Structure 1
Amino acid sequence: MDQDSGYNHTLQNGETKGKKSAKVTMLQKEVGLLSGISLIVGTMIGSGIFISPKSVLLYSGAVGPSLLIWAACGVLSTLGALCYAELGTMITKSGAEYVYLFESFGSIVAYLYSWTTVMVLKPSSFAIITLSFAEYAAAPFFPGCSPPILVTKCLAVAAMFLIVAVNCLSVKLASYVQNVFTVAKLLIIAVIAVAGMVLLSQGKTENLSNAFETSSISFGSIGLAFYNGLWAYDGWNQLNFITEELRDPYRNLPMAIIIGIPLVTVCYVLVNVAYFTVMTPSELLLSPAVAVTFGDRVLYPVSWIVPLFVVFSTFGSANGSCFTAGRLAYVSGREGHMVKILSFISLKRFTPAPALIFNGFLSLLYILPTDINTLINYFSFAQWFFYGLTAFSLIVMRFTRKELNRPVKVPVVFAGLMTLVSFYLVLAPIIDKPEIEYLYCTIFILSGLIFYYIFVYKKVTWAHEMMRPITMHLQLLMEVVPPEKME
């Protein structure tokens, strides 16, 4: 919103006077292929696959359709990610949907996306993941009952502070944390999957035989089953948020997608098969945490490893969420769609510290209410609207931006299918159960136009003058500088 692109680089000049900085003041390319795969896999696999595959089973009606939907969600996520691979290698800027919408539909649409995502979707998602982490971390200290809300919220806040601090300190450290926790969650998934295969080899196939017999699926319930399945796959677009920090993005972006998402798909299907080897559909639907129930029945006396690794999984997912959320706020600030301080970079550590801290502060506010799950449920339709619009932007730019180099070029039918499915998922929950809250969410999204008109389009002088001293003091306090211009 603060449009002063020629802001006085006071700190930068003071720090570098008399000596030349070893690195230019911009985000460094420190994320390799392994870290890229870890970011995708680690952000996608959170707590969902361990806690509530029952939502997919509930709406699909039987074991067979449930497993097919898990696999189909993986295929759809892969198609969407391949569309993003073309967009990410064609436009090698961080920010994912934001930069693609900006290039194809212009400033207003990109602003509404950043307004909705930076202010609501990213911080509330970060808050929910850290709360899930806190619930599992606190559970062993309160056997037989749920941990007090105050305890879980304090643990969630502590996790937030730790994750934001790690991401502010070093991109390499944040990537290392992501890699370690991704390995941990893949380890527990391997344990569950192998245990399931052993049980299958022992003849535990009762729940998998006649898997389609009791199915009573309808057109509306298919949509809701996909909605819940795709929620567990959410995060397939995370690598596009950090394209500028990816080494050799033309190779590593599509490679990470091609390796990471099918890996998650195989994991999800195998884990669900394992669940059905020890639980009937009715038992699975009644289980408060499916993986914990599985561990109690199969892994005793070491069943405690399941909740421990769920803690690791949610922490890693929260770290990935924070990592990418900071980049979106950073790019929005750089384009003048958020306050300019968000686009500044730590002079010593080359991280977007102000953007990361801002996302952490908003996430802290979302932890305070009693129930934020309702909020994110109502706003999730907006996420799928922007997914669909981004896929459609690929089709648009095939005609309007023919001059752009496309190292990766996917069949346009992939983008068309992703667009149709995304808009169906936007309409499905609203048509199935129309509620006034969806209107409130839409009004909030469109209210961004007011801020756009005042601060971006009109660039009012009083806002600029008000932000100048605030920006200067924050710059000195955090030791951050504006990034150098991209080539």
Structure 2
Amino acid sequence: MDTVSASPDDRAGKPRPTLGLRHGLALCVGIVIGAGIFRAPAMVAGAASSEAMFLGTWALGGLLSILGALCYAELASAHPSAGGDFHFLEVAFGRDLAFLYGWARLAVIQTGSLALLAYVFGDYVAALLPLGAYSSSLYATLLVVGLTGLNWLGIRQGAGTQFWMTCAEVLGLVCVIVAGLVVAPEAVPTVRAPREGALGLVLVFVLLTYGGWSEVVYISAELQNARRRIAPVMVAGLGLVTLLYLLVNWAYLRALGLEGVAGSQTVAADVMARAFGPAGGAAISLMIAIAALTSANATVITGARTNYALGCAFPRLRWLGRWSATRDTPGNAMLLQGIIAVLLVIGATFGRDAFGAVVEYTAPVFWFFLLMVGIALFVLRRRSPPPPDCFRVPLYPLIPALFCATSAYLLYSSIAYTGISALVGVGVLAIGGVLLLVLRGPTPPAVRS
């Protein structure tokens, strides 16, 4: 039988199940509902051919995300680990591909997303309480430092904060839904000439807005009764997000119309302003700041666990693989993530294209590795079928095949959309390949899969 390096959870100071059902749901919902739902609908409306297509793609995005969550739930149930995707790729394909994924998370995906969310938070807080020319950068830096410090203190502090911030975030979305569907005057319907070839582009933005659901697997080793709970947590969390997204986009359409949504850079603020006047526009700034704060906190929690897995798999990075038994957190891994994110915030101070840059910088890399995780499910199901008490994805192999096909299509669409900008992510992976040659060293003691 094939052997793989030891899971991060097989070592001293390993994670232990300290999180309940509500913490898992709060992480799933909180990391998905970020600033994107206040920005992406305008891009989706601009590419959609009709209101039906606009709403239909949000429903399709939720369905595809739930299908992906079922695949991830089997992997997390059968192979629970703080390493999440890193561990799945390591068990299925070996350390080299897992390292490239971990490197991409550290250098591109997680730290870049954290810096972006910090800037979104900084922009909106600065509008409410300006502190000078560099208010946004200052608030963004303080956010990264503050959340890193909070979660360094322990998972209880970070997860508890996540729960209450997620409640506030959902309440804010409900306010926008009520404003658009009940209070604001209805916009005059418009008819748009049919457009072709826009589905791939639309789905890139929609699924980017749904992005983050896979992060739940990073707490699979810390979730109580994870083998039975991981699937309900992910499906219920995404079900709630899909319902909220459909309602809020319906509210956008009713209040502004398809052309109004497409032409708005602040769609939620415009809806609130139509419903409540200038006070509504100010309220939405606070809502978006809370949404960015909630997603940023979840990003800090899950991103540090990838770095921890890197340290466990590669002896020359063992300082990253230290887990505090008293705080139940990977302290060194969290500090490194915070330092890189702060450097990205500082670098972005003198020129950034926030939302578009994240799409171009992260989407191709993200969808490539998501595709590889889908393939890993086939590999691991054949090599070592899940134990009887584990969750199994229904309608196998149909749902995993659909998930892989969707990921491949989105990988193609993200490359076609970003064009030459996709080479940035490829360049980062190439740097990771060079680092791999230096860090590979001896293989850790193997355990049977």
Q: Over residues 257-303 of structure 1, what are the superposed CA-to-partner deviations in whole Å (9 max), with x where a residue is unaligned?
A: 12100100010010011111211222222222111111111133641
Alignment of 1:382-461 (within 5 A): 382-402=365-385, 407-410=390-393, 411=395, 412-432=397-417, 434-435=419-420, 437-457=421-441
Q: Which residue number in structure 1 is paired with residue 98 of structure 2?
A: 110
What does residue 19 of structure 1 align with? none
Residue of structure 1 equivalent to 2:276: 299
Give the letter for the 1:402 counterpart.
Answer: P
Q: Which residue of 1 aligns with 2:25?
A: 37
Match of 1:227 in 2: 204
Shift of 1:372: 6.1
Select 2:324's aligned residue among 346, 349, 368. 346
Moved more, 388-397 or 160-169: 388-397
Aligned length: 426
Mapped to 2, the partners of 1:403 and 1:45 lie a distance apart of 31
**CA distance in structure 2 between the partners assigned to 1:314 and 1:233 by the alignment:** 14
| Preserved CA contact (<8 Å) 1:164 1:357 | yes
Query: Offset of 1:141 from its aligned partner?
Result: 3.6
| Pair 1:371 & 2:347 matched | no
Deviation at 1:447, TM superposition (A): 3.1
TM-score relative to the length of structure 1: 0.82
Give identity over the alignment, percent: 26
Q: Corresponding residue for 2:139?
A: 155
Secondary structure at the counterpart of residue 28 of structure 1: coil
Question: How far has the Cα of 1:179 moved from its partner?
Answer: 0.6
**SS of the counterpart of 1:345?**
coil
Partners of 1:39 and 1:215 in 2: how far apart?
A: 41
Gaps of 5+ in 1: 6-23, 460-484
**2:265 matched residue in structure 1:** 288
Secondary structure of the 1:218 match is coil
Residue identity in the other structure for 1:333: G
What residue identity is the alignment partner of 1:354? N
Query: Which residue is equivalent to 1:462?
Result: none
Check conservation: 2:46, 2:259, Cα contact below 8 A: no
Query: Counterpart in 1 of 2:172?
Result: 188
Q: 1:389 deviation in Å?
A: 1.0
Of residues 229-238 and 48-57 in structure 1, the stretch that sits farther from structure 2 once superposed is 48-57
Aligned to 2:339: 361
Letter in 2 for 1:355: A
Q: Deviations over 1:154-206 (max 9, x none)?
A: 11000111100110112111111101110001101112223333259x8x374
Q: Which residue of 2 aligns with 1:473?
A: none
Instruction: Report the equivalent of 1:480.
Output: none
- Structure 2 contact 72–217 (Cα < 8 Å) conserved: yes
In structure 1, the partner of 2:86 is: 98
1:334 shift after superposition: 1.0
Amino acid at match of 2:314: G
What value does the CA root-mean-square deviation take over the aligned residues? 2.3
- Structure 1 residue 239 corresponds to structure 2 residue 216: yes
| CA gap 1:301/1:430 in 2 versus in 1, 3 angstroms | closer
In structure 2, the residue corresponding to 1:167 is in which secondary structure? helix
Query: Relative to structure 1, is the Cα distance of residues 252 and 364 closer, same or farther in structure 2, using a 3 angstrom cutoff?
Result: same
Q: What's the offset of the Cα at 1:62?
A: 2.3
Structure 1 position 49 matched with structure 2 position 37: yes
Q: Using a 3 Å threshold, how does the CA distance of structure 1 residues 403 and 177 change in structure 2: closer, same or farther?
A: closer
Deviation at 1:46, TM superposition (A): 0.7
1:21 alignment counterpart: none
CA contact (8 A) 2:42 2:265 kept: no
Structure 2 vs 1, CA of residues 149 and 112 (structure 1 numbering), >3 Å: closer, same or farther? farther
Contact 2:180 2:275 in 1 (8 A): no
d(CA) in 2 for partners of 1:414 and 1:149? Answer: 51
Q: Tell me, what secondary structure is at the counterpart of 2:419?
A: coil
What amino acid sits opposite 1:371 in the alignment? R
The equivalent of 1:214 in structure 2 is 192
Does 1:315 pair with 2:293? yes
Question: Would the aligned equivalents of 1:199 and 1:277 in 2 still touch at CA under 8 Å?
Answer: no
Equivalent-residue separation in structure 2 for 1:122 and 1:326 (angstroms): 9
What TM-score results when the alignment is normalised by the length of structure 2? 0.89
TM-aligned CA deviation for residue 338 of structure 1: 6.4
Matches within 5 A, 1:258-277: 258-277=235-254
State which structure, 1 or 2, has the greater radius of gyration over its C-alpha atoms: 1
Q: 2: distance between equivalents of 1:284 and 1:231?
A: 18
Name the SS for the 1:453 alignment partner.
helix
